[in-house]
Amino acid sequence: MNWDQIAKNMDMKEPILAEWLLERIIDKKETDSAQARELEERFMDDSSIRFLMKQEDRIILSKLFEAVSAQRFAAHTDLLVQKCGKWQHNTAGEAFSILMQIAPDTAAGLLGDFCKNEKKLFSEFRIWESLVNNFSCLPKERQKDLAFTVIASYRKVYGEKGIHQPYGTDTLKLAMTYAHPETEALFRHCLFTDDENYPYRLQEILKALGLPPDEYRWIHYHMEGDDLPRYSEIRELYEIPLPEDLEKVIAKIGKSSFKEAASFFEKHKELIRNEQIRTFFENLIADSDFLKKLHKKEQQPYVYAMLVGAVMASLRKERPEPEKLSLQKAAELAAADMEELPGFESFVSFFKNRDKEETVTVLTESLKKSLHHYGGRNIIRIMGELNYDEFLRTLCDALEVDPDYEFIYLAASESLLKYGKRAVEFLTDHVEKMDDITQTSVLETVRKIGGPEALEFTDRHFDMYMRMEKEFILNTCEALCNENCLKKISKKINKNQHLIDRTWLTVTLLTRGKTGECEKLLKDYYQHRKKQNALIESVMSGSILDEPRPYVEAEVECKNCGDRSNYRLYRVFMSEKGKHFIGQEIECINCETLADFEITDKGRMALIGESMRLMLAAKGKSKKEAGDAYENSPIRFGKTMAMGKVMEIDEAIETYRKAIEKNPKDAARYVGLANIYYFMNMFTRASELYQQAAETDPLYIQAYYSLARMEEDKGDAQKALEWMEKGIPDMDKARYYRGSGPGKEEFLYAYKDYYNTLLDETGSNRPRPDLPDTDGAGGWEDERPLQPVRTGKKIGRNEPCPCGSGKKYKKCCLK
């Protein structure tokens, strides 16, 4: 990337460019910290930082606080105080985190006031997170007083309610650190909860006490059916041999027999080096009444498992000595199921000093056995530090691990970054053989590494990614300033594809400067960003439920070319089974045809979110207000008529299609299917079917009627008249497909009446057909050929027909 060229076009007052630069600094912090600092020094002067801080774009503010080093805000403490003073949203928490580092006295004063407002303290999680992570930055003389204030607030709010995560265990950690007199009470409070994740919650409690949770986790998993680790393989982790009766005690706990566990604790409690923790456990195990209250004893086994795990954890060595072990034994120890491998650097050094070929073989085999626990992460991290090319395929394979083991994927991604361009070269040649999820993960790695190799990767695999993960490939091309990308997407800009517009704009502005073509796109893009920020604001404030939403942006896949893109969906029908059907015409931005589209998993999530919003918006409202909320939404709930039966719209379409395949000479089937598309405003598809019906059997003059209606809607009354004239000669012998709507006589009346109206509109002198002296069909011409049937209770035989004819259901569409 030519930073000198970019510097000529970089304008920090152009939000789209400022955001791009901040994202690059964030990426470089992971791969090249020296270049990240260089970019900060080059572009982030005081005037740029101050300008960006005054903006109200929360996305840019969040990235600014993440990208720029805390010390660079030293001259802007006043603005940080203003942001912190709002005490809302993520930006306040991020600003507060920086303030604690550069102006701890000021931060301590703000925090003192903030802690007095319990409602805010335990509702603004990002501010709480900043508080916990940076507490040690505060003045030492203030830390204890503030910690005690936080603890008192927590006890006041949650003292009788049971633990509230993450606030409970964080508060316990503060109490441990500053020796609060109610620390033991907080410990008991954290234990006494009906949290459905109780077994996992105890791991957090052990961490708050300053103990590793691994041994407890092994026992917990064993209670659920997993095998215990073979302690003979990990004995080097411990200062002294583990007690001989350990496995027997664990087996008893699994059977809810706790006598042996209590005896085990009494026998070995002195091994717990921390006297305070030992006292907590002694008092706990002596308090049988408290243990019995642990939600009908269901939680007792996990508490006893925690006690035994705490004894084992206390025996851990601070630094194992892999240099005293064989290569195989050291690999087994490194692959033990531990969140953090003690003495990690000593293991890296050990493996570096061993035969390379043998080390690769042993570590690769160890990883195969540990891919589904934390030991696999430790082996992957070692592979990243060793940086042998022989590990590249193994690390890529690790990206394909079950998503439930996210820590494996994250470790593999982090390790691949250490390989730099060698990783990108390998991925370029092998990515097409990977599964979809891994291909997406790979792209993020390529983006962060960058360089000419990354440009080659994106050029070579651009089309593949545009079909499957458009957002990821566009972000990557944007990050790399890939000018070849501009050529490939230039025909797709200015079509409500904000991801494409953003990429084209960013790369154009950085490489060519602002052109005339950029002006309108920039205006539209910023309007979209304004809506995004407003949406974030409404989510934060809860007002999102009251926002009118005429459309929902969702990803759909073109059945013609396979392209996946986001489109504005104005009408989506949802069936009782949760299926979605798009009720509008969409021209594919890729193949430029009016194609059929299928909603992707991402698209379904967007639609489900809108459905949930609708239900929440209607909750507690009057019937009329709730109805208005649904009526103004792009989501529709309803059924329709097809061949005399009520069914879901997608089922109705499929029913007609099969009927047409079975008998392509039956024009009525074309009319029925066209009516459905007409109702859904899919006029091109409807027009094709009506014309097909007319060609198949000209006596079905309904087709002419509907075609004329569509032409008049376009403003062409003359063309509408031409369609209607085709049916006039056959009025007396016309065939009629009812489907839904009036009977034949009423339809013929409407046909003649509409024809006469068109004659008036066009000023034609052609002869006019006579209308009978009746009002039996008056006004039907204003109805669309198909009316939806609302989803609801089963229609009774003697109830009004849902088609709107006014007749009983048994005398109409039930026949």
Least confident of 37-46, 406-415, 802-811: 802-811
Dihedral sign from CA coordinates of 464, 465, 470, 476: negative
pLDDT of the residue at 268: 87
565 SS3 class: strand
Strands (E) located in 113-263: none
Angle between helices 58-67 and 15-31 (to 10 degrees): 30
Which H/E stretch holds residue 212?
Answer: none
Q: What is the mean pLDDT of residues 382-406?
A: 91
CA gap 338, 334 in Å, rounded:
9
Model confidence pLDDT, tens digit, residues 312-351:
888 888 889 999 999 999 999 999 999 999 999 999 999 9
173-187, 192-206, 741-755, 783-797 — which one is most confidently predicted on average? Answer: 173-187
Rounded Cα distance between 504 and 485, Å, is 8
Three-state DSSP state, 567: strand
**CA distance from start to end of the chain:** 72
Helical H segments across 32-103, by residue range:
33-43, 46-53, 58-67, 77-86, 89-102
| Geometric angle at alpha carbon 379, from 376 and 382, rounded to 5° | 150
At which residue do the structure tokens 């400022």 appear?
A: 18
Q: Average pLDDT of 114-123?
A: 79
Q: In the prediction, which pLDDT does 608 show?
A: 85
Sequence-distant (≥ 6) Cβ neighbours of residue 401 within 8 angstroms = 371, 372, 376, 408, 409, 412
What is the model's pLDDT at position 738?
66
At 545, the pLDDT band (50, 70, 90 cuts) reads low
pLDDT at 330: 95
pLDDT grade for 804, boundaries at 50, 70 and 90? very low
User: Band of the pLDDT at 569, cuts 50, 70, 90?
Assistant: very high
Q: pLDDT: is 802 or 362 the higher one? A: 362
pLDDT of residue 792: 38
Distances (CA, A) of 311 to 240, 308, 584: 12, 5, 65
pLDDT at residue 440 tops 60: yes
Mean local confidence (pLDDT), 739-750: 76
778, pLDDT greater than 60: no
Per-residue pLDDT for 214 more than 90? yes
pLDDT at 468: 82
pLDDT of residue 46: 94
- Of 154-163, 410-419, 439-448, 775-784, the poorest mean pLDDT is in 775-784
Position 163 pLDDT exceeds 80: no
Residue with tokens 């802007």: 76
pLDDT at 739 (0 to 100): 58
DSSP 581: E
Residue-level pLDDT at 786: 38
Residue 287, CB half-sphere, CA atoms under 13 Å: how many?
13
What's the confidence (pLDDT) of residue 811?
Answer: 54
Using a 10 angstrom Cβ sphere, with 0-12 exposed, 13-18 middle and 19 or more buried, the burial of residue 763 is exposed
What span, in angstroms and rounded, lies between the C-alpha atoms of 547 and 553?
15
pLDDT score of 496: 84
Please give the angle made by the CA atoms of 160, 166 and 169, to the nearest 5 degrees.
Answer: 70
Residue 635 is predicted with a pLDDT of 85
> pLDDT confidence of 773, banded at 50, 70, 90?
low
Give one word for 747, left, alpha or beta, with left for phi > 0 and alpha for psi -120 to 50: alpha
Strands (E), 590-747: 597-599, 635-642, 645-647
pLDDT in the model for residue 812: 52
pLDDT band at 115 (very low <50, low <70, confident <90, very high): confident
pLDDT category of residue 774 using cuts at 50, 70 and 90: very low
Mean pLDDT for the chain overall:
86
- Over residues 455-468, the pLDDT tens digits come to 999 999 999 998 88
Task: Give pLDDT, residue 628.
Answer: 72
745-753 average pLDDT score? 88
Would the pLDDT of 86 be above 90?
no
Report the alpha-carbon distance of residue 1 to residue 696 in Å, rounded: 62
Tens of pLDDT, residue by residue over 164-185, are 778 889 999 999 999 999 999 9
Percentage of the chain exceeding pLDDT 70: 91
- 600, 611 in Cβ contact below 8 A? no
Report pLDDT digits (tens) over 242-296. 778 888 888 888 888 888 888 888 888 888 888 999 999 999 999 988 888 887 6
The answer to whether residue 4 scores a pLDDT higher than 60 is yes
pLDDT at 614 over 90: no
Q: Say which range, 50-64, 542-556, 744-758, has the weakest mean pLDDT.
A: 542-556
